[in-house]
Amino acid sequence: MTGPACLVGVGETPYAKWGGLGGTTEYDLALRAIEAAVADAGLTLDQVDGLASFAADRNDAVFVAADLGLPELRHATMSWLPGGGGACAAVGNAAVAVEARQAEVVVVYRSLCQGQFRRFGRGPGPRRADGRPPGLRRAASPLDAQAAFTMPFGMLSPPITYAMVMQRHMHRFGTTSEHMGNVAVRFRDNAARNPRAVLGGTALTLADHQASRMVAEPLHLFDCCMENDGACAVVVTTSARAADCAKGAVEILASAQGAAGAYGHGQYVNVYVDDDLYTSGGSQVVARDLWARAGIGPGEVDAAMIYDHFTGLVLLQLEDYGFCGRGEGGPFFAETELPMNTHGGSLSEAYIHGLNHVVEGVRQLRGESTTPGPGAETCLVTSAAGVPSSGLVLGRRR
């Protein structure tokens, strides 16, 4: 086999606000997304021999393989990186598998069904029948144990955590709410051209953003990603097999994953890191390795899909990845013409833990995006900032 692993198929279910897909299950959505991605690649399920996901995915690969009727499962991996930090890592793990000949066709998938399970961002647990807060319980994980030191002081959800990070960034560098609003407005404009986008039919202006209710100062409602049900998947295979697939292959030029030393779960539970790290997306180590492996720099990418759970974290990632200097993310975003989150992102297309950003990266380089970057040959995709993270550099196959 010669050449890097390739992305050859993408698939999605419909996306909807949490609870908006009726009685469907998260597991069923996962199966449907995998089937769609394999069909998009011009392959059959009989040719799939690997599965990968991330963020403690509930849809176990062994059961997925059995229920899809895969002849055999030769490779199954789960990225340890938390939350949306592992989307690009899962694709990178799949690429390593096919390049090492552990598998030939690996499907990376992510499914969320908040209508079936717990709605995100609700704090430590449901109230008891008498209306009082939940009682004491034993921590189920190291994250639970660490959060026990912050939750009593009101740090109950991601918007509160990253509001603190952005407050500090604003204090140090002069970043403004309008800088963050520019992100929300641009991504909503992109979503307006995307028929899959949940908020594609709803226009947003900077005035709308500024007038929206405050969630956790300085984060307004439109600074925060949506809560959605849906699933998506991508197909990774060898360079040799990619030549026979139905659509243009996209090469995985580089992948990287990890975190700086002592970062732990990131700012969500760790407020003791150095100020430069605290007021960042925490992706500097990933960015360093990614650019070195790709052999290019930020000035040489034609499009970027930046994880956008919160608008401010987009600005911090642009700084981490070297598109601008520390503290310059807001002005840079306002001025750059680099196509970003051309599907609308987690703010306006759907929140599927960032795997839909990889889907859009493939579409962008195939020339299938609803907001195309003219002649795009390379695309950066990042996973969540503020937690241990990962990234990809994708390239159009010549």
Tokens of 215: 């969630």
pLDDT of residue 124: 53
Q: Is the pLDDT of residue 128 over 90?
A: no
Report yes or no: 125 and 251 within 8 Å, Cβ to Cβ. no
Q: Please, is 47 exposed, middle or buried when counting C-beta atoms within 10 Å of its C-beta (0-12, 13-18, 19+)? A: middle
- pLDDT, tens only, 33-63: 999 999 999 999 999 999 999 998 999 999 9
Q: Is the pLDDT of residue 143 over 60?
A: yes
- pLDDT, tens only, 242-278: 988 889 899 999 999 999 998 988 987 777 889 999 9
pLDDT of residue 83: 87
CA distance 272 to 241: 48
pLDDT of residue 18: 81
CA distance 225 to 221: 9
Q: Is the pLDDT of residue 132 over 60?
A: no
pLDDT of residue 155: 80
Least confident of 145-149, 327-331, 393-397: 145-149
CA distance 344 to 340: 9
Which is nearest to 349 in space by CA: 309, 391, 386?
309
Least confident of 33-42, 90-99, 116-125, 348-357: 116-125
Least confident of 119-128, 168-177, 340-349: 119-128
- pLDDT, tens only, 176-233: 999 999 999 999 999 999 999 999 999 999 999 999 999 999 999 999 999 999 999 9
Q: What are the catalytic residues? A: 307, 351
Tokens of 30: 């996962």
Q: Is the pLDDT of residue 1 over 50?
A: no
CATH, range 6-116+225-396: 3.40.47.10
CA distance 7 to 60: 22
